[in-house]
Amino acid sequence: MSTVRRPDHHRSAPHGGHRAAPAGRPAAHAAGLRHVLAHLVTPLLMCIGMGLAYLGAFAHPAPHHLPVAVVGSSRGAQLLAQSLNDTSGGDLEVRTVPDRPTAVEQLKHQDIFGAYVMHAKAHAQAQPQEGAQGGTPKGTQGPAQGRIPEGTQGRTQGPVAPELLVATAGSDTSASVVQKIFTPLAAQQGAPLKVTDVAPPAEDDPTGQGIFFLLVAISIGSYASVAVIGGAGAVLPLRLRAALAIGTSAVVSLIGTAFAGPVFHLVDHGLWGLWGMAWLYSAGVLLIGTGLHTFLKRWTTLGVMALFVMLNFTSSGGIFRPEMQNGFFAALHSFWNGAGFVEGLRSHVYFHGYGLSGHVWTLVGWLLVGVLMVGLAGLAERRRRAAEAEAAANAAAVAAAAVAATVPEPRPRRLVRAAAPGTGSSDEATKEELTEEEMAEEEMAEEELEEVVGV
């Protein structure tokens, strides 16, 4: 019979084990799948945010009230400016300026982004250098003999090419758009358009967009450090995390300055000013991110990416200026920190510091927002610690009360025993035994209380 039962036993044991395993694995797989799906929410939201931001800002660039000028005070210049305003449908804001130097000054102040200098057929008139009252100059033959009088100027000139003034250091894309607008006008005058760049970018940055990519590098170094300081440094006090943020911003700004100067030669002067603006920008990003981590926790990366990538890069003006974007990103350009860095650096390097103070104050404002955010985080963490300490104290009191309620009272038994009649040494022995028993019970109760409170 044992030979019959053994196979049944061996069959039933593996069968029972096989039946238990599938019951556990699907539950474990379901829990793991829920965990993965919960963490996939963040990259999917990043994908949606980046698509909306970048495509919304860069997919259909078109001028919106782009300021340009027609040089001249003649009626022809005024008619041309009015005609351009009427036909542009709000894409352009065309004004007239009296002369070329005024147009150059407005370009360097970025009040306009193109100036069209009209030229019709120029004919200089001959002006004699010497001779009396309408006579032929001495020592020359008259024009009737077919020679141009000596000492006269004024050869008849052909059509002079119209000139377009641009400042590509301010925005290469805006300069290209302005050139496309005015090239057909030059063709109508029968001459090629002459383009003059009054503020060219650095030789090693021909498009002037190196500043934008410098912004990208500094931003990534800054907001990626936020995740490290907030995650790995979560056990540190907030003041130490803030100090780490300040120190990290100094290192990131030095790296950015090295890229812009000796490594890639994006700028050829003003490196100290560049470093100062890079530090202001990076410190603002790091302090804001460090403060936000107290409130957002695992969503901090998504939060700083929304602030300093999705909305920041697209509104900075590094690729398209606000005049080439829709109203939302154009409005952000007026106060966002990336725009303050890009426009401040352009002003510092290419436009002789015009408007620089406003852009620096923008960066200082964001730095102050970071300081305020760290202060709010400090208050929140202090309240959180106080609430946790109060909860722990309440739990300890409840546990102590529960333990005290379960421990029997030893005193009544000792009193009964003590009141019982006895003689001599036997009574003393009974009292000693009861005392030892009471002590053991008290020790056990204390140990149990300590274990409960510890948990």
Query: Residue 18: its pLDDT value, please?
Result: 47
User: Is-contact 317 403, C-beta < 8 A?
Assistant: no
- What is the reported pLDDT for 135? 38
How far CA 432 is from CA of 53, 321, 412, 436, 439, in Å, comes to: 84, 95, 16, 6, 11
Of the candidates 226, 218, 368, 239, the residue with the CA atom closest to the CA atom of residue 293: 226
Comparing C-alpha atoms, which of 165, 121, 76 is closest to residue 84?
Answer: 76
> What residue ranges of the chain have pLDDT lower than 70?
1-24, 120-159, 407-455
Distance (Å, rounded) from C-alpha 378 to C-alpha 294? 9
Q: Is 96 helix (H, G, I), strand (E, B) or coil?
A: strand
Q: What pLDDT score was predicted for residue 92? A: 95
What pLDDT score does 9 carry?
47
Cα first-last separation, the chain: 54
Tokens linked to 427 = 């009574």
The confidence score (pLDDT) of residue 152 equals: 39
Q: CA 406: distance to chain centroid?
A: 60
Taking each helix axis from N to C end, the angle separating 424-454 and 411-419, rounded to the nearest 10 degrees, works out to: 180
The answer to whether 396 and 454 have CB atoms below 8 angstroms apart is no
**Residue 4: per-residue pLDDT:** 47
Q: Is the backbone of residue 317 left (phi > 0), alpha (psi -120 to 50) or beta?
A: left
What pLDDT sits at residue 430? 47
* pTM recorded for the entire structure: 0.76
Predicted pLDDT at 440: 59
